[in-house]
Chains A and B, each alone.
Chain A
Amino acid sequence: MKFSQRILLAVMLVLALLLNSCNKGDESFSQTNFKQGLSELQLRFLEQAPPERIYPESDFKLLVEASNLAAYDISQGKVWITGTFDKYFLIQPQEQDLLQGTVRGMLEGRSLLNPAGDTTLLEFSGKSGLLFQNAEQEVSTFFLKAKYHSTFEFSDTICINPNLYAVYDAGCKIEEVKSYSGQGAPIAVTGLQEIMTPAPGARVEFRLTVANQGIGNLKKLELRQARLGGESLVCVFQGTGADLRSLDFTKRQDLGRQAGQQVVVICQHELSDSTSYSTSLFLEFAYDYELKQQHTLRLVR
């Protein structure tokens, strides 16, 4: 084997190693901070529920396993099936409470006490009808949907330094722009911009970009609380109407997927102290989220 070929093979093997390390795989439960990255509610049908082939005038089950892999509890939610023609596939009930069968009336997220998150099983009963005339089969597309309410939190340590031009101030350094990969939910603060107005009349403004990183659709976002250190922070959603701390995303569908599923939150705070210091920035959001999956049912002779 030529030297260059050996080098090429070695490089490719290293590449394979690197690529494999990119694979997320199963997250180890030894990680203590679940509030990072992208995680969300997962829905899946159990094997053979529904079955691959359904025969006329027979009963079948649709078993949905809902696993909350996010780092936050789901306090309300429902799962429903839509898109089936009743004369071929009558499904009852068509809608179920996501939290039925849960212990504390909520689907817990992943935490130290519950590293895997809560899982619940929902059962839909189906009854098939007759094929149309002498059709050989009927393939029906349907959608498994879920809508739920949950929360997520953002916190970071930021530097407050009103003395931008102070030469001898050995305080912290402001990072004007920061980016984040997620907080363990499908919705996340992805970026933070800090704008400091120097003293006198020092003021800090934070612009946080909140975006939907999951596979579903964000329906509503509400800012529950915002704190800078121990003090409340005044925040509004950019471009909202009367309710500045709540945003209905269903009215933003015409903006497209990317623009319509993200918003900028603007927080401002007057600074009384002229010295620099590091403090925590904390925001808590509540959101309504909708997931959708497409499946098929097949009625055969």
Chain B
Amino acid sequence: MAKAVAGVTSLGSGQGQSGGGQQKEQQEARAAAEAEAVGAAAGDGSDHRGFRQGYSTGKNTSSTKSSSGGQGSGGSSGGGGGGGSPTWLSFTVMFLGALQFVLRRGMTELSTFIFFLSLILFILSGYALAEKAERKRWSILLPMILFAVWFFYFNASIQPNFLIVFLSICGVILLLPGILSKGESAKPELLGFLPVLFLFLDIGLLPFLVEKLGLTLTPLMEGLILWMPWWVFLGLLTLSAEPTHSSFMNGLLGLLKIGGVLYLLFVLLAPAIPDLGTVSNVLPGAGELEEAQLRLRQQLPQKESPFISNLACLFSGQTADMQQCVQDRQDLSEVEHLCSEIRGNEQGTQKYHSCVEEELEKKKNPAARVGGTHDPRIKLPTSAQITIDPKALPSQYGEQLLFPFELRVVNPREQQITVEVGCHFVQKGGNRDIAGSIKGQNPVTFKETPFITTYLCSPTTPLPPGRYMFMAEATLKNLQTMSRLQRAFIGDKPPQEKERLQREEISQVISIPVSQAPADLAKLNFDIGHALGEVIVENKPYRQVVVRSNIEAQGQGQLLRVQEYTIDLAGFQTDGDACLSDSRTCCWQGSLGDVTRYQGKIPLPSCLISSMPPEFSDPEDWLPYEFVGYIIYDFQVTAKQEIQLINVSEVPLS
């Protein structure tokens, strides 16, 4: 009787259902109809009822399409199709999930009811997913029960000792039915983890991450977790492949399912990504990525490939201190490139060897090893760029030639900048360097952003026909860039307490151990502490606190002058005044040798901290502090464009 009813139901739904397994359902329906006919002939009242039910379902196909479709899908999956849960159940889960989501947002005083609703949805979704399983559906309860025991009874404990025992027991409980049923219960058990996952996401993930794992959740993560209607999404997932008759709706639902899965993966994986969500617009555009990579490649000194260095050290037998060997090879290759390619010294000459020795000696300076990073919170740095449009340049020889170029300066902090531009022409194949003069006001001082101006360059002497390299340069003066460095002062505490503070608190507050500065044209890198990158500063007589710094050019161009560099150490005493502030000027103009002398980083004097203020030397807990330094400097950006001037009279007439 039950089979006949199911078959007739399938028959009724087959008329109105548009979904996968329709052919199979029709076959089953035909078989069931035959069985029903036999039953009816035998005078079984229940079969008659079943027949009438099926007949009425068939008659009212148009008005009962969805319900019969739902029943059909339930019947088909009951018959072993496994296409999806009953549509009514999926929509029920979605409706209750939406209700729960709305109530949670708007009526927090109903927290108990909302929690109860979550549990109901937990059970309903398990039942809905059970329809997907062909056999051994009871097994779907196992993961759900185990999760409930862990979460509610054991308070989601993550203590390792407990987890070892508990997970072992869970493993046995989950494996046993699978072994006894020869694998038939595997699918339902796996399906049982889905309601578990969603219940965890709904009520447990946020507090678990914050309280149990001690993670700092960014507002982005909190929003992703709190603003997702998880149960609605699960209801969506339990829908069959084609729950409606509209292919558009089915396609849309399918897309929503895919989007939801991606969202789910992102929420689960994103907490592992540090600083995610700390700034807006985290993901740069493709163009920005390309530009950044190009800048980085140009800024990085040319060194031997680390892979080659590692191989060389390995085969040379210097495995005792591989790291130092690799570092030495890297330094040497950088210096060799500098002395040969940049300074033009021929390899093997005395000048070349002197240069290498001098540069290697500079690298031993600890100040040169201080690093820094770009401040992720500053998205818009100060930048300058010269653009030469080749199409706008004259190509015919003439008396009065004007060569335009555009200077664009992004000045987000509205600094008062003085810019002086210049130009000249270098003859190709010859040694002539013809100066150019700039039309209009030069230099200019401005504050606005962006500052975009077109300059016209006129050669001071007429340019004969030929090929030239047109060079345009702009010197920006009085630029200022600030850097900051965060440290934690703990006084004199036992090692266990220091380790605990570092692990539980300091690492959450200070995540970047090096100095940070915007990606301007140059920056000050500085470090204060016992060792490079060590965030914690202790007050112990045998551990010295050292201030180390250097200046690093970042932009495409040359750092010409540093008028001032300062690190604000208010209240801290050093062993020398040179460390605090030095207004000396270093002028590299006029000599190519001098310009490239400090490629990369310019080391500054180092010094010791002799004493610190009492609030830093002996805090009761620990004290975070941010040091600030800045440099005032001149920077030159350049651009070049190859030009060819032809004599008009030489152009053949067509």
- The interface of chain A, by Cβ under 8 A from chain B, is 1-5, 8-9, 11-13, 15-16, 19-20, 22-23, 25-26, 52, 80, 82-88, 131-143, 145, 215, 250-251, 253-254, 257-258, 292, 294, 296, 298
Contacts and interface: CB of A to CB of B under 8 A. Distances in A.
Contact of B119 (A16, A141, A143, A250): A16
Interface stretch (B52-60, B340-348, B374-382, B546-554): B374-382
A16 B120 contact: yes
A283 B413 CA distance: 67
Contacts of B508: 83, 141, 294
B153 A132 contact: no
B500 A253 contact: yes
A9 B119 CA distance: 14
A291 B6 CA distance: 61
B378 A134 contact: yes
B484 interface: yes
Closest 5 CB pairs of A and B: A135-B377, A12-B123, A16-B123, A22-B152, A253-B496
Contact of A137 (B78, B119, B152, B377): B377
5 contacts: A20-B116, A136-B378, A138-B377, A254-B496, A296-B216
Interface stretch (B61-69, B137-145, B327-335): B137-145
A19 B146 CA distance: 12
Contacts of B375: 132-133, 135
B218 interface: yes
B124 to A, nearest CB: 8
Given A16-B120, A132-B375, A137 B279 contact: yes
A132 B379 CA distance: 12
B377 A132 contact: yes
A138 B625 CA distance: 15
A264 to B, nearest CB: 17
B145 A15 contact: yes
Interface in B122-166: 122-124, 126-127, 130, 137-138, 141, 144-145, 148, 152-153, 159, 161
B211 to A, nearest CB: 7
Contact of A23 (B152, B210, B379, B622): B152
B148 A136 contact: no
B161 A133 contact: no
Contact of A133 (B78, B141, B280, B482): B482
Contacts of B280: 136-137
B518 interface: yes
A82 B619 CA distance: 11
Nearest to B279: A136
B148 A19 contact: yes
A98 to B, nearest CB: 16
A143 B505 contact: yes
B497 interface: yes
B634 to A, nearest CB: 19
Contacts of B413: 133-134
Nearest to B89: A9
Contacts of A137: 279-280, 377
B509 interface: yes
Contacts of A142: 509
B141 to A, nearest CB: 7
Contacts of A292: 504-505
Interface centre among A8, A133, A257, A296 (most CB of B within 10 A): A133
A84 B496 contact: no
A23 B112 contact: yes
Contacts, number: 119
A7 B159 CA distance: 37
A295 to B, nearest CB: 9
B500 A9 contact: no
A82 B622 contact: yes
B462 interface: no
A132 B378 contact: yes
Interface string B389-401: 0000000000000
A258 B165 CA distance: 15
B274 interface: no
A135 B378 contact: yes
A132 B482 contact: yes
Given A4-B137, A132-B375, A136-B279, A85 B159 contact: no
Contacts of B380: 134
Given A85-B626, A132-B375, A8 B482 contact: no
A13 B508 CA distance: 43
Contacts of A1: 74
A19 B152 contact: yes
A86 B413 CA distance: 23
B497 A250 contact: yes
Contacts of B518: 133-134
Nearest to B626: A85
Interface string B79-107: 00000000000000000000000000000
A151 to B, nearest CB: 24
A258 B161 contact: yes
A296 B221 CA distance: 13
Contacts of A26: 112
Given A16-B120, A26-B112, A136 B379 contact: yes
Given A9-B127, A131-B377, 8 more contacts: A19-B122, A80-B621, A82-B505, A88-B626, A133-B482, A139-B278, A141-B508, A141-B509
Contacts of A80: 621
Nearest to B621: A82
Contacts of B622: 82
Contact of B141 (A11, A88, A298): A11
Given A137-B279, A253-B500, A296-B216, A8 B624 contact: no
Nearest to B484: A132
Contacts of B210: 294
B243 to A, nearest CB: 19
Contacts of B279: 136-137
A143 B141 CA distance: 41
B486 interface: yes
Contacts of A136: 279-280, 377-379
Contacts of B218: 139, 296
B446 interface: no
B576 interface: no
Contacts of B138: 8, 11
Interface in B185-225: 210-211, 214, 216, 218-219
B115 interface: yes
A8 B130 contact: yes
Contacts of A134: 378, 380, 412-413, 518
B81 to A, nearest CB: 14
Nearest to B377: A135
B2 interface: yes
Contacts of B124: 12
A298 B219 contact: yes
B127 A25 contact: no
A22 B137 contact: no
Given A132-B375, A296-B216, A12 B621 contact: no
Contacts of B482: 132-133
Interface centre among A9, A19, A20, A250 (most CB of B within 10 A): A19
Nearest to A252: B496
Nearest to B131: A5
Interface string B616-634: 0000011011100000000
Contacts of B379: 136
A206 B439 CA distance: 99
Nearest to A298: B219
Interface centre among A1, A12, A143, A254 (most CB of B within 10 A): A12
A252 B504 CA distance: 16
B412 to A, nearest CB: 5
Contact of A15 (B123, B161, B496): B123
B153 A258 contact: no
A134 B78 CA distance: 63
Given A134-B518, A136-B280, A294 B378 contact: no
Contacts of B624: 83-85
B219 A258 contact: no
